[in-house]
Amino acid sequence: MYKRRLGKSNLEVSAIGLGCMGMSFGLGPAADKKEMISLIRSAVERGVTFFDTAEVYGPFTNEELVGEALSPIRDQVVIATKFGFKLDPNGRPGWLGLDSRPEHIKQVAKASLKRLRVDAIDLFYQHRVDPNVPIEDVAGAVKDLIREGKVKHFGLSEAAAQTIRRAHAVQPLTAIQSEYSLWWRRPEAEVLPACEELGIGFVPYSPLGKGFLTGKIDEDATFESSDLRSRLPRFAPEARKVNQALVDLLDRIAERKGSTPAQIALAWLLVQKPWIVPIPGTRKLERLDENIGSVKVELTSDDLREIEIALSKITVQGARYPEEMEKMTGR
């Protein structure tokens, strides 16, 4: 597995990371814990060193899973987690709003350290920008945690360029995590240029369009009520029917390259910038191997031009989130 450095930081990680959310939360019932521990450890054996979780996934259970899986090989991996939601104290799923008050950030860090079984959190993201707390205060709280040795690197998720600049001025950012893929390219407008200018790495979540870009989800697919995709406008049957044109494009190129649509989608991200590290999630070993295989797929300038021309003629149907969720992004 190739390595990449996140921006100008000294944080080096595998070119493909592993998003662990779906193992416990968001994609229907949680998967079997023993199987997921085995999958995470298999990822390490294959050279994956970058693992992504958050306290809200479960809540709490995903951090516990990641902590248990990686504790025997802690020195070989980088673990990222997140703060910023106000959670039900009884541990029920869902959240009660945003909370990035400095005292809350420090409470979350203490609890996450315990669940992850680590002495320091490698990368600590603000999960969503809290409009009620100045980003300078957030950055200051994380700066304190870094000074205390409880956190190593600071990140933001789904933040706007101006927020990134303000936070970076207080405590240098190592990574920005936002959705980015062939069917969601908004970061290209302002966020990626800001990352390049400031020397910050970029971590695309949902790099396979929450599974759609793999070609395994068609207009007839159904989702359980506990699957987040059941509530996403982009996954409505009529939207999936229109958006199949994007999968057809990936299929054509994959066939020519002897690869898969998922591998083309990931290879496209990898070629955009050398400091971009996608974190596709999966519950299956064969999908893990498929995703890792994308690092060997070479897209030529002609391939990239073909993709760009084809994308210019495809209008992706459906919002990526319901309105109330989208309001929490890009602030």
Residue 252 CB neighbours (<10 A): 14
**Distance, CA of 224 to CA of 204 (rounded, Å):** 25
Instruction: Tell me the one-letter amino acid at 64.
Output: E
For CA atoms 53, 13, 160, 315, give the dihedral sign.
negative
- Residues facing residue 119 across a β-bridge: none
**Distance, CA of 240 to CA of 152 (rounded, Å):** 41
Q: Which phi and psi angles does 20 have, rounded to 5°?
A: -100, -5
Instruction: Tell me the one-letter amino acid at 137.
Output: D
Point out the residues that are catalytic: 57
DSSP 101-114: -HHHHHHHHHHHHH
Residue 53 CB neighbours (<10 A): 29
**Distance, CA of 155 to CA of 149 (rounded, Å):** 16
Angle at 52 between CA 46 and CA 58, to 5 degrees: 120
Tokens of 322: 């319901």
